Every structure is written in C-alpha cells, then in structure tokens.
Amino acid sequence: MLKEKCTFKKPFGPYSPILKINNLFFISGQIPVDQNTGLIPKYLTEQTTLVLNNINTLLKENQLSVKNIIKTTIFTTKINKLKEINLFYQKFFDKHTTIYPTRSCIGISELPKKVFIEIEAIASI
C-alpha cells in the first residue's frame, strides 16, 4: 500500500486522501472545501462542482485523469436534490470522458462541517 502524491492541506481526520494498491487508486471522500481559501460554497451545485474538481486535482497529481475513475460513491444530506447533483455530475463527466463510472448514491443525515455532499472515488490504471 502506497500513499500517493497529495498537495492538499492536512485532512480533517486520521486518513490518507489517496492510496494506491496494485493498479487501483482509492480517493477518500472529498468534501467541498476550497484548498486555497478553506472556504465552503453555500449552494449544493457549487459544492458538487468543487468536490469533483478536488477529485480531479488528486488524479492529476498522480498522473491520472477522470477517465481513470471506475467507481464513485456520493453521500448527500440533500437526496431530494439528486436531480441537481446529477446535472452537475453529468456535466463534469461529459467534459472529461465518454463513459460514466459505476456509482452509488446514499442519502444521509449529516456530513462533516455541515456540507451537503461528499464523494469518494476509485480509479484504475
């Protein structure tokens, strides 16, 4: 198990943002925190976009791209807004690839820092 390159600020808990095991990269759940300012966007759509961009940054730092993502798991406190999440999720993946990864979406009651969304991903080389 190898900890991979990550220039993100220290995580909020005792975990690695990204680990490589054989040909798989496991990206820990990302919440919508701007890595430059530490700010969290107010709206679900902005939070969704920021989380996906943070995942993209982790991939790029490890010479990967969105095309390498094979699975995502979305956790949201706004499951009733899944249509909005899907709109921005689809827009993001349409920009980067022609194949959507497999996905699970789970509605939950609360997330760290009172954010609305967290997404984890698995990428393959």
What digits encode the pLDDT tens for the residues 16-43?
Answer: 889 999 999 999 999 999 988 999 999 9
Number of domains making up the chain: 1
Please report the beta strands in 1-89, taking only residues with DSSP state E, as ranges in sequence order: 2-3, 18-21, 24-30, 69-76
Q: Which of 82, 105, 111, 122 is catalytic?
A: 105
For residue 6, what pLDDT is reported?
Answer: 63
6 among known catalytic residues: no
What is the C-alpha separation between 76 and 85, in angstroms, rounded?
A: 9
For residue 101, what pLDDT is reported?
Answer: 98
For residue 13, what pLDDT is reported?
Answer: 79
For residue 3, what pLDDT is reported?
Answer: 56
Q: Which domain holds residue 22?
A: 2-124
User: Which has the closest alpha carbon to 67: 125, 2, 8, 24?
Assistant: 125
CATH number of 16's domain: 3.30.1330.40
Q: Are strands 24-30 and 2-3 parallel, antiparallel or unpaired?
A: unpaired
Over the chain (125 residues), what is each successive 10-residue block's mean pLDDT? Answer: 61 83 95 94 98 96 96 99 98 95 98 98 97
